[in-house]
Amino acid sequence: MIGLRAHRTRLRTAVAVLAVAGLPLAGLTALAPAAQAAPVENAGFGVGTDVDYNDAECTATNGGDGNGDEQPANGVPVTRTQSTTSTVTSTGDAADVTNLTANVTGRMRMVVTDGNLSEVELSGSGRATATPQKNPSECDAEIEAEIEGGVEFTLTRPTWVVATVSGNKQTAVGVQGGNQKSFMVAAIGAGGQSTASQLFPAGQYYLSLDFGWSSDGSGFYLKQAAAARGAARAEALAAAKAMGEGTGRVHVELRAAGSATGKAFGSGKKYLKPGDAVSCATGKVAATFTKKAKQVEKATFLVNGKKRKTVKNPKKGRTVLLPLPATRSNTVKVKLVVDPPGRRGAVTKTVTRSYRGCGQA
């Protein structure tokens, strides 16, 4: 994720994370058939640090450490931390010393709802700093701090996977997932936020989430600080600190195709109940009038702002089926002309609900 070179012992992919967590995997092709699989077959989460240096010319007191294990799929967050200090010294010059420090704290939460993975979140903070005593240094030493999580899971129905990554300007963040037929990726490398979405058919998938920080560049600013005074020194020290310090977050939401994006809202919802999901088999969503329907004189149904159907004097329990475009999200709004008891005239009420698409364009 952040450009590691040789001399590495670290978490890299979803499979690597799970292996570190004590869950050896043979790869996606070795998973059990979907009909036999649990919602989450394997999941792991770990934090780690890595020291990188010219090992042909230098030695290190610590090459990095890791802290990883299984991740429960019950919505309970798990927090892990790791701290590492290391001194890298040139074998030919005892004065060529680089002091390295890294600290990282990560938090992962995973939720299974109605037999399907519904949410994965990975967040945390880290810091990585290198302080070389000579510039240039023969050792070219760096240290990195990382947080990674991996999940292998089965979906029993077509599902929208929406991944959002965010971090400060010195945090590299990424998420990727899919299988041999469907794939998605979202990443940032210089701060900000990025979102990706993909409709996954029923089947087996993986998600790999990671972010981290590198001390690369902090030594330059620390050298500037050592030679500076006053405001210039403070500015250089602040720049060195920012090079490898920050926060990051990956949030993945998994929702069934055709499902509602939220609850129905509006003053008309006591007269009409829009369905909880679109039937992707028929491409239609149902809306059912309640016991208060006797007060409704007319109901006008709009799909994405366009009038699609009008019903006059509906009865309790009547259901209206509305066709919706398959390859986009849709909003159903119903305008109801009602004449409640005690009023001198009719008033207009509305009820609105939005739905995810059943397919991807």
Q: Domain residues of the chain, as ranges?
A: 14-256, 272-355
Beta-carbon neighbour count of residue 32 at 10 Å? Answer: 11
Lookup: tokens for 187: 């990443």
Say what the pLDDT of residue 308 is.
96
pLDDT, tens digit (0-9, with 9 covering 90-100), for 137-191: 899 899 999 999 999 999 989 999 999 999 887 788 888 888 888 888 888 776 7
CB atoms within 10 A of CB 347: 11
- Cβ contacts of 359 within 8 Å, gap of 6 or more: 199, 257, 280, 326, 327
20 vs 271, more confident: 271
- Each residue of 211-266: pLDDT tens digit? 888 887 666 666 666 667 778 777 766 666 666 888 999 999 999 999 999 999 99
287, 300 contact by CB (below 8 A): no
- CA 340 – CA 329 distance, rounded (Å): 34
Which position has the higher pLDDT, 33 or 264? 264
- Rounded CA gap, 354 and 139, in Å? 58
Question: Given a cut of 90, is residue 121 above it in pLDDT?
Answer: yes
Nearest to 127 by CA among 149, 101, 166, 108: 101
Mean pLDDT of 104-109: 96
Q: Are 76 and 41 in contact (CB under 8 A)?
A: no
Question: Which residue type occupies 60?
Answer: A
Q: What is the CATH number of domain 272-355?
A: 2.60.40
Rounded Cα gap, residues 15 and 4, in angstroms: 18
| Confidence grade of residue 78 (pLDDT, cut at 50, 70, 90) | very high
